[in-house]
Chain A
Amino acid sequence: MSAEPDTVHRVALRGRLGRRALLAGAIGITALAMVRPAQARPGLDAAVADFAGGREVQAGRVRFDIPPLVENGNAVGVSIAVESPMTQLDHVTRIALFNEKNPQADMVVFHLGPRAGRAAVSTRVRLATSQTIVALAEMSDGSVWSARANVVVTLAACIEDLL
């Protein structure tokens, strides 16, 4: 009979410690999750400037097809077509996509050459939230051209990240 209150007390104590540890842990995880995206990635303009490597980024010559409103950010179809004769002397060397608000600015980089025939590519990307997407094209003469699109996303990809 004498052992009973002791057992009850210990159980209660354990319960309290457990809750406290859990709460501290939860705060820690929340803090980590909030800090990580902010320190992890460069901004959209920085990513674009990095791709251009100091060259001027001109608007035009790139046709960028992406739906203005998407329901599911997990797979968004995009097509990029660049005005270029695609000859040995004048062709597109790279086509790249950059985003504003995903955890990482880079999305995809395509390497093309005169053997591509046409500078037209398509793929599917993830969008974490409504944001601006930039398509860039680097030509064989070194010039860099771009097109921008704003996309509204109703159901985001990587929802876990945003909580």
Chain B
Amino acid sequence: MRSMINVPKTAKAGEIIEIKTMIAHPMETGYRTGTNGTTIPRNIITRFVCTYDGEEVFSADLFPAVAANPLIAFTTVALRSGTLTFAWTDDSGATQSESVEIVVA
């Protein structure tokens, strides 16, 4: 799954930074029927977690009402230079993680 993460490369200590994340995922609701009349099985991302140097700062529980290729935008406080890790988990149990470094001056 391709993902897109927008985090400022540098920030001042204590600054509130905006983070935008998006991941390519069909977010199949399980409510749709295919061409042969059978229900298309549900496959959605159910959980998103953002950690800052290993500490969870933001997370989300997703339901079928979230649009395909889920976009999640939120904020966090840039305390120190470190690694922001983003993880998405879907119905099949697969987790995709991405990491971004941030330099705090």
- CB–CB A123/B70 < 8 A: yes
Chain B: minimal CB distance from A4 (Å)? 36
B72 within 8 A of A: yes
Contact residue range for chain B? 20 to 34
What are 29 A-B pairs with beta-carbon distances under 8 A?
A74-B68, A75-B67, A97-B65, A103-B31, A104-B64, A106-B65, A107-B65, A108-B66, A110-B58, A111-B59, A112-B74, A115-B57, A115-B76, A116-B57, A117-B76, A120-B74, A121-B72, A121-B73, A122-B72, A123-B66, A124-B66, A124-B67, A124-B70, A125-B66, A126-B66, A158-B31, A160-B31, A160-B33, A161-B31
Q: What are the interface flags for A73-109 relative to B under an 8 Å C-beta threshold, 1 for contact and 0 otherwise?
A: 0111000000000000000000001010011101111
Beta-carbon nearest neighbor of A133 in chain B:
B65
Contact residue range for chain A? 20 to 34
Task: Tell me whether A123 and B72 are in contact in the complex, defined as CB-CB below 8 angstroms, given that A115-B55, A117-B77, A118-B16 are known contacts.
Answer: yes
- CB-based A-B contact count at 8 angstroms: 98
**Across-interface contacts of B77 in A (CB, < 8 A):** 115-117
